[in-house]
Amino acid sequence: MTTRARAIADKVEAFVRETVIPYEKDPRAKGDGHGPDDALVYEMREKARAAGVLTPHILDDGSHLTQAETAMVLIPSGLSPLGPLACNTMAPDEGNMYLLGHVASPDQKAHFLKPLVEGRARSSFLMTEPADEGGAGSDPSMMQTTAVRDGNHWRINGRKCFITGYKGASVGIVMAKAEEGACMFLVDLPDPAIHIEDVPDTIDSSMPGGHATLRLDNLRVPADQMLGEPGKGFAYAQIRLSPARLSHCMRWLGGCIRAQEIATDYACRREAFGKALIDHEGVGFMLAENRILIKQCELMIDWCARVLDTGALGTEESSMAKVAVSEALMKIADNCVQVMGGTGVTGKTIVEQIFREVRAFRIYDGPTEVHKWSLAKKIKRAWREAQG
């Protein structure tokens, strides 16, 4: 635990507990059902700016905290579903800022990254495609969206789905396939060539703009807005995806720590059959199990973060962490709902929302089964190599 990270983390936790949590009762926190209103987001960000906790994982000189330090800061930001939005540590912005910081040109950083770091804009990452058209989901090599050179521009056509935060975003990162291979493009949003077909209702509701289905109809992007080099889109995606998976683990661990606090308070105050609920083994053991799982999550996140801090891509380690932590968080959230009985399935506390959000997290950034399949392939490959 570095001194600088501990100091930042303490400020973030105090801000979330004292300033952000009261916003959970604000009607704007539910917005249109697809996430909080942007007006609420930017109101909270102004308070975060004043408190010195806006974009706390990126330092004034533009450098990032280490991944291990980032964990210390992002976990307390997640104590409320609104916390990452207020502190500007939420997906997809946090992952997009990380990618742009590593790949974007100086001009691209000035135009696209700067407003994100300042918390004055939101972004989206346009990669996933509709399954009914054979598009890219967990397998990005199935990319159907095309990019064709058009003079000093690129012309992009295709459809995207589950594009988190698109509605209301100002910055877009579009993935498409060209003759050279997969490419990434930076786009100012909204653009008239990108049409919102649908914003489906989903189980989660923490991210503004929902998860839109889009149609890209002859989107023209200037050549100097390609991110990095043509054909390296998948490599750049790996730069983003491993830390982004781990950041999700950090934020939702914070949410489950909060759920555990609420469930514990409920179980210690509520009495049934002549004693406090926590004194019944069936209840107390669930909270004890949660305590163990929270510690396991902390250790798994720290281990993976330190691997990433060596400069390794950490693809295997981030898959392991994503599986272990998301499954553990699901059990923690489920136990908290169960401990609280009927109250646990109502909106009277944030526990019900955390349960929904964590259930979605088991799918987002790669379902558990895809990560296990990928790990099994590596196990088989290692076995073959060991046979000589």
Give 135's contacts (C-beta < 8 A, 6+ positions apart). Answer: 128, 129, 142, 143, 144, 145, 158, 159, 161
Read off the pLDDT of each residue in 323-331 and give the average, rounded to a whole number.
98
Beta carbons of 85 and 41 less than 8 angstroms apart:
yes
Could you count the other beta carbons within 10 Å of the beta carbon of residue 234? 17
Does domain 234-379 sit in CATH 1.20.140.10?
A: yes
pLDDT for residue 112: 98
Q: Is 21 exposed, middle or buried (0-12, 13-18, 19+ CB in 10 A)?
A: middle
Instruction: Grade residue 137 by pLDDT with cuts at 50, 70 and 90.
Output: confident
pLDDT for residue 330: 98
Task: For residue range 225-251, list pLDDT tens digits in order.
Answer: 999 999 999 999 988 889 999 999 999
pLDDT for residue 141: 87
pLDDT for residue 342: 97
pTM of the model: 0.96
Question: What is the average pLDDT score of the chain?
Answer: 96
pLDDT for residue 138: 82
Read off the pLDDT of each residue in 269-282 and give the average, rounded to a whole number.
97
User: Which amino acid is it at 276?
Assistant: A
Identical fold for domains 123-231 and 234-379, yes or no, is no
pLDDT for residue 261: 98
Q: Does pLDDT of 331 surpass 80? A: yes
∠ CA 80-96-356, nearest 5°, is 35
Task: For residue range 300-323, list pLDDT tens digits in order.
Answer: 999 999 999 999 999 999 999 999
pLDDT for residue 388: 81
Q: Which value, to the nearest 10 degrees, does the dihedral of the CA atoms of residues 66, 18, 255, 11 take?
A: 10
Q: 315: which 2 tokens? A: 């693809």
Query: Which helix or strand (DSSP H or E) is residue 294 part of?
Result: helix 281-308
Q: Does pLDDT of 1 surpass 80? A: no
Q: Does pLDDT of 172 surpass 90? A: yes
123-231: CATH topology = Butyryl-CoA Dehydrogenase, subunit A; domain 2 (2.40.110)
Strands (E), the chain: 123-126, 146-150, 153-164, 171-178, 181-188, 194-198, 211-222, 271-272, 275-276
Beta carbons of 366 and 245 less than 8 angstroms apart:
yes
pLDDT for residue 192: 98
pLDDT for residue 161: 97
Read off the pLDDT of each residue in 355-359 and give the average, rounded to a whole number.
98
Please state the domain extents for the chain.
3-90, 123-231, 234-379
Beta carbons of 60 and 4 less than 8 angstroms apart:
no
Task: For residue range 52-81, list pLDDT tens digits in order.
Answer: 999 999 999 989 999 999 999 999 999 999
pLDDT for residue 273: 96
State the Cα–Cα distance between residues 288 and 290, nearest whole angstrom.
5
Q: 190: which 2 tokens? A: 């909204």
pLDDT for residue 140: 84
Read off the pLDDT of each residue in 167-193 and give the average, rounded to a whole number.
97
